[in-house]
Structure 1
Amino acid sequence: MHARPAGRRRALAFAAPLVLVLTAWNNLIVPRLPTAPASYVVVNAGATVVLLAAARSARLPWHELGLARRRLAAGARWGGAGAAVVATGYAVALLLPGVRPLLKDARIAGLDGGQLAFQVLVRIPVGTVLWEEVAFRGVLPAALGGAVSPRAATAGAGIVFGIWHIRPTLSALAANDLADGPVSRGVAVLLGCLVTAGAGVLLTWLRLRSGSLLAPVLLHLAANCLGTLAAAAAHRLD
């Protein structure tokens, strides 16, 4: 059932500025934050609270945001299964000498135990996963869904998620001395954004299929936290 014109206009009035803010956030706002590691976590956690408050003010119900308590069990099942697949993949990659170097990341290599723990226990769960899942698998698809079809809302959220990763992709390329020259960097960034856009669509599908934001949260946590630990292990094993 399509939204009525008035409802569609209200949805667009909320979704359009949200798209602009999310497009700029990771590429223009985060780079200007203070360099202290905790600032990233504090600012993104605060943004999560503000966004949820804005979503509720826009009359988006909890179940459309993936936050209905009755769906937590389903979210745990689906997310746990996805996390298990990711964990198995990292374990196999670490055991294969020919594949292990692909896990390495220069940004992880220099971290000591305390810094690694901060990444895995605080920065990634609170500063990255919580914020991104609430924004891209919770609020944005729900907001877009009031104006366009569910498929279009899922695709739109995925595209914005891909754009969100322009700066992180550039940072990863620079840190690991990859893709010399503007053309190769441009191609690498485009591929990185396409991959993350596809991942965003998959995570949104998981949210919709399970009915709970917990499902993509668990998968995202596994991908990022276990990926960080796998990168650290790869550097130490070689």
Structure 2
Amino acid sequence: MTVETVGVGHSVNSGLGHASGLHRIRAAHAWLDVAVVVAVLVSTNLIAHFTTPWASIATVPISAVILVALTRRRGLGWAELGLSPRHWRKGSLYALASVGLVLAVVGIGIALPLTRQFFMADRYATISGALIASMIVIPLQTVIPEELAFRGVLQGTLSRVSGARGVFAAGSLMFGLWHIASSLGLTTSNRGLTGILGGGFVGQVLGIAGAVAATAAAGFVFTWLRRRSGSLLAPIALHWSLNGIGALAAALVWHASLG
């Protein structure tokens, strides 16, 4: 009887040890996935901003597609990526609400003289240029690829190794740091920011720090929308609204100032 009991105990302990070993292996693989995603994002950002003009156009969309394909092969499901059809309806409702809110805020912003100057960005000085940017360039080159990469792939992989707080903190920080390179000339191209921060080195540093903080905060909201709706549709809609509607508003303000 004693021998049998010892045998059963040994079997249970072996089973627990085997399960624990498998858990550690899966955790290591999950962390490896996160590390690979972060490495690809960093490389993508550097290539897109510090190589050729063609690379700046194509690198981010191509990397986003590669990341989705790679993590799908690693076992990430469509729901983990925010791409499951089951969440399209809820995602659409949050998307419509997000667009409506941004329209209201931007409308108030360009109506008030105090905030109108912040919409005067040189690159959106024409209506036609702003339309092309908001309807083609921004969605295809920026919004959709970034949401696939950050709220899809990065959030999906982070969710396998961390709780909600870790996902929100790491995802938001990464999204803020992602915008350092694109913010290098921010204070020289925006009249409102130049007037407040100045156009010198200190102004440039303050502009970059402000852009990182603002985009990290935006990333937090995008992450919340993705988590709340279960779909990428909501953060894509809000992200496009902030960039696309902002571009159209900038063109309208420039046009009105010239008239």
TM-score by length of 2: 0.83
Say yes or no: does 1:70 pair with 2:86: yes
**Distance (Å, rounded) in 1 between the aligned partners of 2:36 and 2:25:** 18
Of 116, 121, 131, 2:145 maps to 131
- Residue number in structure 1 paired with 2:15: none
Of 178, 182, 202, 1:164 maps to 178
Distance 1:203 1:10, change over 3 A: same
Letter matched to residue 102 of structure 2: V
**Distance (Å, rounded) in 2 between the aligned partners of 1:42 and 1:185:** 27
- Residue number in structure 1 paired with 2:26: 7
Q: Deviations over 1:82-129 (max 9, x none)?
A: 1100011111222223322121111212x462x333211211001000
Say yes or no: does 1:31 pair with 2:43: no
**Distance (Å, rounded) in 2 between the aligned partners of 1:203 and 1:94:** 24
Aligned length: 231
- Residue number in structure 2 paired with 1:46: 62
Q: Is the 8 A contact 2:150 2:175 kept in 1?
A: yes
- Percent of aligned pairs with the same amino acid: 32
Give runs of aligned pairs for residues 76-155 of structure 1, distance below 5 A: 76-109=92-125, 111=126, 113=128, 115-155=129-169
Q: Deviations over 1:5-25 (max 9, x none)?
A: 222211111111221332343
Q: Secondary structure at the match of 1:63?
A: coil
Please report the RMSD computed on the Cα atoms of aligned residues, expressed in angstroms: 1.9
Q: Deviations over 1:184-230 (max 9, x none)?
A: 32233122211111110110110000011101001111111100000
Larger radius of gyration: 2
Letter matched to residue 55 of structure 1: T
Q: Deviations over 1:127-156 (max 9, x none)?
A: 000111011111101111212222202210
Letter matched to residue 129 of structure 1: V
Distance 1:174 1:20, change over 3 A: farther
Q: Deviations over 1:31-73 (max 9, x none)?
A: 245335xx64433322222111011011111101111101001
**Distance (Å, rounded) in 2 between the aligned partners of 1:158 and 1:68:** 23
Say yes or no: does 1:213 pair with 2:232: yes
TM-score by length of 1: 0.89
How much has 1:4 moved relative to structure 2? 3.1
**Distance (Å, rounded) in 2 between the aligned partners of 1:220 and 1:229:** 14
